[in-house]
């Protein structure tokens, strides 16, 4: 379905496609109410009727929306319209850490420490709010033009409590970024 020019929630005008992943496609949009650019993450059509994917998408929205930190992408709104589930987020002008590494190669140690520290700060905020991201990788870190790191994509985040149980044999996350344990 062609999305450019479509208006969701009688508010968000889709301007252009800016990215995508396994679960969703991300568009640049304009909020007509507040007259600002936003990122609009729309669950892929093939998952629109899959209860498990819809649940994961809603978990992402709830997990990230509960956080407010300069190193976490802000969530502004969520919606469902015409079978489409979407999340409205802060639009970050920048590129993924993966793209930065591919372009620049090995980062200077000072830059690497600064970026790692910012990621850790954002994750600390999530952990303090009992949310574990579970998929930290260069693809899920956006680096702004002024070199601020922003954690995004809480799609498989888990809210933890004293009653959380880890299931052995379950694989959650991106295989290339698992710790050896």
Residues marked active site are found at: 135
Torsion sign over Cα 57, 75, 95, 19: positive
What does the DSSP 8-state code read for residue 127? H
Cα distance between residue 85 and residue 24, in whole Å = 10
The rounded distance, in Å, linking the Cα atoms of 106 and 27 is 30
54 by Cβ neighbours in 10 Å (0-12 / 13-18 / 19+) ranks as: middle
Q: How far apart are CA 6 and CA 14, in angstroms?
A: 6
């Amino acid at each position: 379905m062609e999305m450019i020019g479509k208006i969701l929630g009688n508010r968000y005008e889709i301007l252009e496609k800016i990215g995508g992943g396994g679960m969703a496609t991300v568009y640049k949009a304009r909020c007509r109410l507040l007259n600002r650019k936003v990122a609009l993450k729309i669950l892929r059509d093939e998952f629109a009727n899959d209860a498990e994917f819809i649940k994961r998408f809603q978990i992402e929205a709830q997990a990230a929306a509960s956080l407010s930190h300069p190193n976490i992408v802000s969530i502004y709104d969520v919606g469902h319209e015409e079978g489409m589930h979407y999340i409205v987020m802060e639009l970050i002008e920048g590129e993924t850490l993966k793209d930065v590494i591919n372009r620049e190669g090995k980062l200077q140690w000072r830059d690497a420490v600064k970026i790692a520290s910012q990621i850790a700060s954002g994750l600390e905020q999530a952990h303090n709010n009992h949310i574990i991201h579970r998929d930290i990788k260069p693809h899920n870190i956006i680096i702004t033009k002024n070199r601020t790191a922003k954690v995004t994509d809480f799609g498989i985040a888990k809210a933890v409590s004293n009653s959380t149980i880890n299931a052995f044999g379950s694989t959650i996350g991106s295989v290339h970024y698992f710790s050896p344990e």
